[in-house]
Each structure stands twice: as C-alpha cells, then as structure tokens.
Structure 1
Amino acid sequence: MSVDRIFGLVRRVMRLTTDTATPSVQVQMESAADDLHNDVEVLETYGFTAHPPESVPEGLAVFPNGESDHGIVIGWFDKAHRPAGLKAGETQQYSVHGQNQLFDEDGQITLEATQHGQRLFFNKDGEVEIRAQQGQTVLLDKTGQVVITDKAGSTFRMLANGDMDVTPASTQFRVNGYLTASYGGSSIGMNPNGDIVMHPASGVVQVIGNAKATEDVIADSDGTAISSLHHRHPGGSIGAGTSLEPI
C-alpha cells in the first residue's frame, strides 16, 4: 500500500447534504483537498438513527484500502449542542430541539421534553415524578400514593389505603358543582343551589355538642312539614289546649 493510501485511511470530512430516505443514511461530503464524495454511507448502531443539523457538519470517515470511492462515516463532531458536565458513567441522548434523556449516577432517568422545562423522572426507588415548567408536579411515590401539587403549594393526595387528602395553600377549598361525601351507607352533600343534604344510613342525624341554626329548621318525614320556629305543642303548661308559639 502506498504512503498516500495509508494517510488516506482516516479523514476529517465536511458534510454537505444528507439523505435519510435510503436504507442507510447517505451523505455528500468533502474531505481534504476539496475531494468530493457522493452517496457515502453513515455507520449507525442498531436501534439508533439521526439526521445531524447544519450546525454539525464535521465528521470522521474511514476509507478501506485508502480508496476515496469507498468511504464510510463513523461519527460526527457536535461542538455546538452536546450537553457538558456529565459525570463518570453517565450517558445522555439529546437533540438540537431541546429534548434529552439522562441516565445519571444516582440511578435516575430524566426525560426532558422541550426547552421549556417539562420533565419526567424515574428514580432508583421506583418513583415517578412529572414536573411542569410552571411549577406543578405529579408524584407517584414508593408508598403507593399519588401526590399532585400546584405552583402555590396546594396538594391533593391519593393514599395507598384509598383515602384522599386535600391541603389547600390558602384557607379555601372550593368546589364548583356537587360535592358529596359517603361512608358506611351515609352521605352528606352540597348542591349548586346552596342546599346541604344528609342521608344517614340509620335514619338518625346525631349532633354531639351544641347545634345552632340562624334560620328556621323544618322537619318533614311524611309530607307534613313542622317548623322549629312556628310549631305548637298539644297540652303543655298552659292547659289542655296548645302552647303558644316559641319566642
């Protein structure tokens, strides 16, 4: 093999065009001394393919036997977009559009969707966390609970035992529409009309402690409404008639 062929085995090249519609990616490129090479194959690993942007034109090609007509590109030099600062053992896949996937030294996998900061985390404890750019998070933790947190710090928890816990960052808990709580066959609900409706399974509503009503309380079990403010009692201390209305 001549000296020229030996020096021509490995060359730096500049990519001019890229064709990804072919069975293997092919490029047109220039090597030293402005040699033009057409339809040069790009060596890619199984399961991975890429179309480098125009900002990544420089690559490295090998030419078996030093023949310029049979080059193969083995890689591209990305000096414009490659994430810096990886620690020993870490790997990262990325694109010029901002998406990236990081396998870090703590055993966590981080997926970042775009340049706007949406992220998905899989940590070594089996937890999954979603973070939005605006600060909201959704956490599926190792205890089996789901925790949703908004940017103000309010949380909604679905616990592993089936309980749900709502903690507002302010002092208000607001529901637009019907709100019903049920347990053991009993239920209490608030409807959009402002009514509070209770359906005790035993038929008895029990109040432990004092109960105060600022308006009238009406009992109606069989279609006969009885007012707590305007009802009369038969008999009583006044005699055999009926008592006066309550004051």
Structure 2
Amino acid sequence: MIDQITKLIAPLHRRVRGMVARGILRLVDDAGGVQRVQVQVGPQTLDGIDRPQMYGFTSHPPAGGEVVVVFVGGNRDQGVVIGEGDRAHRPQGLGDATAIYDHRGQVIVLTADGIEIRGSGRNLRITGCPKVEVDGDIEATGDIKAGDISLRHHLTGGIQPGTGDSGEPHA
C-alpha cells in the first residue's frame, strides 16, 4: 500500500521539488519590456527566463551572479527570477547602512551620518536641471568652475598689491 502511494505521488513530489532552484546568471537580454536572462541550473541551461524588476529601479547584472528561480507549476519553461546577487561585488562591512552598487565599484551608501557617493574614479554628472540648490557649505579638494571661470586660477584686475583684503563679494 505504501509503495502504491509513493508511486502515485512521485510525479507530484518531483514537480514540487523542482519549483524553486538556485542557478548562475549567464546572459541578459535587456531589449524588451521585461528583461530576459539565460540561467544555468545544474547542468541545464535555460533561456528566456523573465527577470521582472521593481518599478523605478532597473539594472543589468553581470554574468556569473547567483539567481533564485521559481518555476510556475514546476514547469522549467515558465521560470521567473525572484532574486539575484553577486558575492564578488557586494559591499561588505556596512553595518546598518544601505547601499546601491554595481560591479564597477560605484556605490551610494545611506548611513545614519548621511549619504556617501563613491565614484570609483568615474565622473558624477547632473543633467537636465535648470537649477541646483544646496542648503549648506560646499567643500572641494579640486578646482571649482563657473562657466569658464576657475576659482583656483581666476585673476582679478584692478587690485592693489599689499596686505589689504578686497572685502566681501558684491551681488
């Protein structure tokens, strides 16, 4: 009797066991409305797996990262990536901070003390803003330019040499 029950539920058991799997991300197709990926699960390579993303956030993860895939009804033709990570690039030692990061070393860290942007040697660009307002001091170790005028290398004419101060700037 037990053997008959085991034999009867074996297909269901295999299907349930195959509903969730861990795998390795191999390729990303970012052309459509839903990103599709190629995932390797054990010896099997699966193409066209949906990778939905939360509204307002998107990314193009590098190959080699780990994924968790759910297969609807245990069917390997209906996979959906529900999570992914990359141990090689995840920032560590953040304490209770939150970070957004990529595989190039660029990181935005939200801490109790403030926000830190680590550019990893790359430029930070703000575009399409008619005005940028800062409520506080700005400090820079490099030069600051307004148009073509450098604060470090700007020369002002009509100033008498000596030890006197020029006074406050005028609007």
Normalised by the length of structure 2, the TM-score is 0.66
* Equivalent residue in structure 2 for 1:85, among 87, 93, 102: 93
1:179 is the counterpart of 2:157? yes
How far apart are residue 27 of structure 1 and its match?
Answer: 0.9
CA shift digits 1:125-150 (9 cap, x unpaired) = x536454xxx4387xxxxxxxxxx98
1:42 is the counterpart of 2:51? yes
How far apart are residue 23 of structure 1 and its match?
Answer: 1.0
1:22 is the counterpart of 2:32? yes
CA distance in 2, matches of 1:60, 1:18: 15
Q: Which runs of 5+ in 1 are unaligned?
A: 120-125, 139-148, 151-173, 182-188, 191-247
Aligned to 1:232: none
Structure 1 pair 100/14, CA: closer, same or farther in 2 (3 Å)? same
1:109 is the counterpart of 2:118? no
CA distance in 2, matches of 1:87, 1:71: 34
CA distance in 1, matches of 2:154, 2:46: 68
Aligned to 2:142: 136
CA distance in 1, matches of 2:154, 2:23: 64
Tell me if structure 2 keeps the 8 A contact 1:43–1:75: no
How far apart are residue 45 of structure 1 and its match?
Answer: 0.9
Tell which structure's C-alpha radius of gyration is larger.
Answer: 1
- Larger relative CO (CA 8 A, sep 6+): 1 or 2? 2
Aligned to 1:76: 84
Equivalent position SS for 2:158: strand
CA distance in 2, matches of 1:85, 1:137: 32
Equivalent position SS for 1:102: strand
CA distance in 2, matches of 1:5, 1:180: 85
Aligned to 2:106: 99
Q: Read off the aligned partner of 1:13 and give its amino acid letter.
A: G
Aligned to 1:62: 70
Structure 1 pair 98/137, CA: closer, same or farther in 2 (3 Å)? farther
Larger relative helix fraction? 2
CA distance in 2, matches of 1:42, 1:175: 52
